[in-house]
Amino acid sequence: MPLDRERIVAAAIALADEGGLEAVSLRKVAARLEVGPMRLYGYISTKEELFDLMVDEVHAEILPEERPGEWREALGLLAHRTRLAALRHEWLADLLGGRPSLGPNALAVGEATLAALDGLADIDTVMRAVETVNAYSTGAIRREIANVRAERATGLSKRDWQRASGPYLTRMLATGRYPALAKAVYDGTEVTAEESFATGLNWVLDTVAANLDRSSA
Amino acid sequence: MPLDRERIVAAAIALADEGGLEAVSLRKVAARLEVGPMRLYGYISTKEELFDLMVDEVHAEILPEERPGEWREALGLLAHRTRLAALRHEWLADLLGGRPSLGPNALAVGEATLAALDGLADIDTVMRAVETVNAYSTGAIRREIANVRAERATGLSKRDWQRASGPYLTRMLATGRYPALAKAVYDGTEVTAEESFATGLNWVLDTVAANLDRSSA
DNA sequence: ATCGACCCTGTACGGCGTATCGCAATCAGT
DNA sequence: ACTGATTGCGATACGCCGTACAGGGTCGAT
């Protein structure tokens, strides 16, 4: 069986899906492909490059088959698909935004994002809009995955955890040094991660809409 | 000289400031304090815990001395101070949002954020606002640091790099597969990272303002 | 003075990324 | 066909990592 980048990246993604990024070592990738570790260096030159290739591969899942006509739908779809990709591949949250993504699929996602706004405002406004939506998305996704992991680690939902003597945080909140925080934790409505993501995203898209208008006026 | 968490965390931060997160190893931290590596385990139980402590320590720099009265100024100040902290400690960008920050200083920052919006809308709207601003800030900061590093690595400004045959990206853009991207790269005005951050932040604060109004109306 | 318990930390283990270099396979020259 | 030079592959090995563990040193009790 001939080796190539694709098989290497696929093996690395499988390992990362199963055990997180830290389960990805060049030795384990090589073992899964039944070759010696150094074989890989004929196809990739560094572990970081492998990570870059993994990120780009997942961007292929993010790109929608067809682009909606409405810019707002297009941007929302891309953001939601990025989120879903990160839920399927939690390690993506560790890598997203960590370095510029310049692989062909990531560029295609960037292209789709820009294309959705093309002509709706001057280039600089469009770029600011893209940056803002992307910053929100990656930040929100990272937080969501961080929470998923924390909940999995304690085996409790966030709410239960705080209420029922999540020992450390409860103690901190009980000190009275964080009154607003305590109120938010105890009085806030529980909301799904998807709702939270969608709400913030809509707010951000609202402000993008407002600024597209202002710029074209 | 007696050892304590503070000295350990300070040594780790110094190492990270000098050589990035990957330059932080328990062995090097210990060496800098002139003790054996295992001494550290009397004060921290894992390398991850050390990272958490480092993040919390930097949050002390983020918390402003006095809180402005206006919510918008308060939120903007916190976001800008977080960004400045990340510029002083680039490794913070690698850790921000990676896991829930529950140290005393991070909680104090969260408290200040919530307090700024306290009473201006129902709790759920306030929480959504905080989440959105935080998601934007961490995402934007991560991207900025990623760009700073990429520019440092190539020794060229982003613009110069693309224009003057940054070989790979130029080739990709020349394929014609990314027309909107190419246009943005070639026709976009160069803008400082701070302007970009501030613009997006203002947009997000605009939408927060709009939604605070709607909720209280 | 002797012993026991406990804390401390040096030693050591398994695993990592990847530099290096010996060797097998290939090819050129006769 | 046979030899010698050359190349490129990948096994071996190096230096580093986080941290388990056990042995030693310390100190209190008898």
SS3 sequence of chain B: CCCCHHHHHHHHHHHHHHHCHHHCCHHHHHHHCCCCHHHHHHCCCCHHHHHHHHHHHHHHHHCCCCCCCCHHHHHHHHHHHHHHHHHHCCHHHHHCCCCCCCCHHHHHHHHHHHHHHCCCCCHHHHHHHHHHHHHHHHHHHHHHHHHHHHHHHHCCCHHHHHHCCCHHHHHHHHCCCCHHHHHHHHHCCCCCHHHHHHHHHHHHHHHHHHHHHHHHC
Give the model confidence (pLDDT) of B137-176 as tens digits: 999 999 999 999 998 987 766 666 655 556 788 889 999 9
Contact call for A150 and B99, based on CB within 8 A:
yes
Q: Which of A203, A172, A199, A202 has the alpha carbon at shortest distance from A185?
A: A172
Distance from the B183 Cα atom to the nearest Cα atom in chain A, whole angstroms: 8
A39 touches strand C (CB under 7 A): no
pLDDT given for residue A163 in this prediction: 57
Among A32-46, A62-76, B154-168, the least confident range: B154-168
Whether B49 contacts chain A with CB within 8 A: no
- Look up tokens 């605070």; give the residue: B212
pLDDT for residue B5 is more than 90: yes
For residues B87-109, average pLDDT: 97
For residues B115-141, average pLDDT: 97
A166 — pLDDT class (breaks 50, 70, 90): low
Return residues 68-127 of A near B (CB < 8 Å).
Answer: 94, 97-100, 102, 104, 107-108, 110-111, 114-115, 118, 123-124, 126-127
B12 — pLDDT class (breaks 50, 70, 90): very high
Diameter over CA atoms, chain B: 64
pLDDT for residue B216 is more than 90: no
What are the percentages of helix, strand and coil residues in chain A, rounded to 5? 75, 0, 25
Return the structure tokens found at A29: 């990738």
Residue B104: its chain A contacts at CB < 8 A?
172
CB-based contact A136:B131 (threshold 8 Å): no
pLDDT given for residue B160 in this prediction: 64
Among A144-148, B16-20, B154-158, B181-185, the least confident range: B154-158
B49 touches strand D (CB under 7 A): no
pLDDT given for residue A164 in this prediction: 56
B203 touches strand C (CB under 7 A): no
pTM: 0.95
Give percent of chain A above pLDDT 70.
94
Contact call for B97 and A146, based on CB within 8 A:
yes
For residues A8-22, average pLDDT: 98
Whether A13 contacts chain B with CB within 8 A: no
The CA-atom distances, in angstroms, between B80 and each of B66, B73, B192 are 15, 10, 14
> What gap in Å lies between CA B8 and CA B38, rounded to an integer?
12
Give the model confidence (pLDDT) of A94-137 as tens digits: 999 999 999 999 999 999 999 999 999 999 999 999 999 999 99
**Whole-angstrom distance between the N-terminal and C-terminal Cα of chain B?**
60
- Look up tokens 């961080």; give the residue: A146
> What gap in Å lies between CA A106 and CA A113, rounded to an integer?
11
Mean pLDDT of chain A: 93
Mean pLDDT of chain B: 93
